[in-house]
Chain A
């Protein structure tokens, strides 16, 4: 089956720095869930930025859902990003409006009809266990709840790919586990998930592939359950 993410010999450097990513090649299959690990500065965030077209690769080829991102003109970036749900470490909620409006935002920018918005926002909030908090302002929620609002916003438009950049970085272990559990449930219904994290303790019990970055270079480790599906990254 086709890949949702395909990196081929990708390198990236910011202006005035060395390579942050160098010669990275990997794929994430459609419907697969994987963790992206590595110390701070290993290039995890940069890799996610390349997928979400926040940056363009200096060298190499990035394909997302079959589309070569170098062919996406800046005018087309909004439509491109609408295919992807993104979850952030600092939640990135809009604190001047209630939970409902935050979650509805991806639907509003797609000009979805009123009734559909209400139905789908409630479904998304239900999925993250926040049904009944629609009218609450995000500031009054705990960190874990805010992150769940962020996740509800990321999945409300039913993206095929969910990216998460240190989603548990600001959460305590119990909340972090809940969040990971949510990602697992979305993956079970077919969403491809790529989670960048340095919470190695948290993920080592989970049966998902780990893509490990070390100083911008790839080294793969996999949990035993996944061994039979080993892919050669040559």
Chain B
């Protein structure tokens, strides 16, 4: 065919064809319906694959949910933070009261309470269980303490600056913000969060392999069909399309199963979690997978299904040629 006749041939064909968008929509809608129908006819086998994908996606998703919950709980603990000023033994109660009076005029300080050495001792005896042992000591080893509760919502930096400044007072031995453990918790949570990403990354590869393998069997089963398609002039894109949609369905349904699994786990744990929170005097309720993470999970499932299918089809389509 000369280029001129090729052009006229193409034009002839184009006249019969709807515009690009309509063609695109028609072709893809047809493939979607067609592959969905095939999915339905092979429901048990397809669901099995989806279930494997679902479990694979559910693992990082549930870990993420757990981290989110612990984060939420620990954030509510922020308001119970206290700074402690451990006073020098030489400080008299009058000097301590003077410090308190000064503190109360400062912005950011909600409350300042003086705990004498004796009160410290009593409290320690009551809470530690070492009461009898302490009785053996001739002198009280505990310092007097001023506990400061910051105003809610004050910037972390303001509190830190306050603690440093108070630590320099002549009456004060050591000033300490009572949040080291919270910082450590946050650090651990950040670590786990990163771990969740790593796990999600590795398991994503697993999903691609699972989908790829399923599609590979699908391609083998349709070898004759692919040959016929190529014989009558179907493009690789056309032949690839149903497999890509099949991968998409696997990913989508896999994502839905993962969502269901996380939902079921949260539901199963919510009652014991409420009881545990109750023991700490909290009415905290276990939160499910956040909306953004849910959407991300579905998007990931779909993307992985598509990629897995693409990867396999691209590798195998070239090998299947009409003889």
Nearest A residue to B20, CB-CB: A111
Contact B233 A78 (CB under 8 A): yes
Contact A52 B27 (CB under 8 A): no
Contact A92 B228 (CB under 8 A): yes
Contact B26 A80 (CB under 8 A): no
> When chains A and B are docked, how far (Å) is the Cα of A94 from the Cα of B239?
14
* A contact residues around B232 at 8 Å (CB): 81-82, 86, 105-106, 109, 153
* A contact residues around B323 at 8 Å (CB): 54
> When chains A and B are docked, how far (Å) is the Cα of A88 from the Cα of B26?
30
Q: A54 to chain B: closest CB distance in Å?
A: 5
Q: B173 to chain A: closest CB distance in Å?
A: 81
* B contact residues around A65 at 8 Å (CB): 1, 5
> When chains A and B are docked, how far (Å) is the Cα of A78 from the Cα of B230?
7
Number of residues in B with C-beta < 8 Å to the partner? 30
Nearest A residue to B236, CB-CB: A78
A70 located at the interface, meaning its Cβ lies under 8 Å from any Cβ of chain B in the complex: no
Residue in B13, B30, B231, B321 whose CB lies within 8 Å of A110: B13
Contact B26 A111 (CB under 8 A): yes
Contact A81 B231 (CB under 8 A): yes
Contact B17 A67 (CB under 8 A): no
B22 located at the interface, meaning its Cβ lies under 8 Å from any Cβ of chain A in the complex: yes
Contact A109 B229 (CB under 8 A): yes
B235 located at the interface, meaning its Cβ lies under 8 Å from any Cβ of chain A in the complex: yes
**1/0 contact trace for B130-159 toward A, CB 8 Å?**
000000000000000000000000000000
A112 located at the interface, meaning its Cβ lies under 8 Å from any Cβ of chain B in the complex: yes
Q: Which one of A64, A78, A80, A84 has the greatest number of beta carbons of chain B within 10 Å?
A: A78
Contact A64 B231 (CB under 8 A): no
A61 located at the interface, meaning its Cβ lies under 8 Å from any Cβ of chain B in the complex: no
Contact B233 A109 (CB under 8 A): yes
* A contact residues around B30 at 8 Å (CB): 108
A66 located at the interface, meaning its Cβ lies under 8 Å from any Cβ of chain B in the complex: yes
* B contact residues around A18 at 8 Å (CB): none
Q: B269 to chain A: closest CB distance in Å?
A: 46
A114 located at the interface, meaning its Cβ lies under 8 Å from any Cβ of chain B in the complex: yes
Contact B235 A110 (CB under 8 A): no
Q: B132 to chain A: closest CB distance in Å?
A: 85
> When chains A and B are docked, how far (Å) is the Cα of A114 from the Cα of B26?
8
> When chains A and B are docked, how far (Å) is the Cα of A153 from the Cα of B2?
26
Q: A157 to chain B: closest CB distance in Å?
A: 9
Q: A94 to chain B: closest CB distance in Å?
A: 5
> When chains A and B are docked, how far (Å) is the Cα of A98 from the Cα of B76?
64
A113 located at the interface, meaning its Cβ lies under 8 Å from any Cβ of chain B in the complex: yes
27 A-B contacts (beta carbon < 8 Å): A54-B323, A65-B5, A66-B2, A66-B5, A67-B1, A67-B2, A77-B233, A78-B234, A78-B235, A81-B230, A81-B231, A82-B233, A84-B233, A92-B224, A92-B228, A92-B231, A93-B228, A94-B225, A105-B232, A106-B232, A106-B233, A108-B30, A109-B229, A109-B234, A109-B235, A111-B27, A114-B26
Known: A66-B2, A88-B231. 16 other contacts (CB 8 A): A54-B231, A64-B1, A65-B1, A78-B233, A78-B234, A83-B9, A84-B233, A86-B231, A93-B228, A94-B225, A94-B228, A105-B229, A106-B233, A109-B229, A109-B235, A110-B17
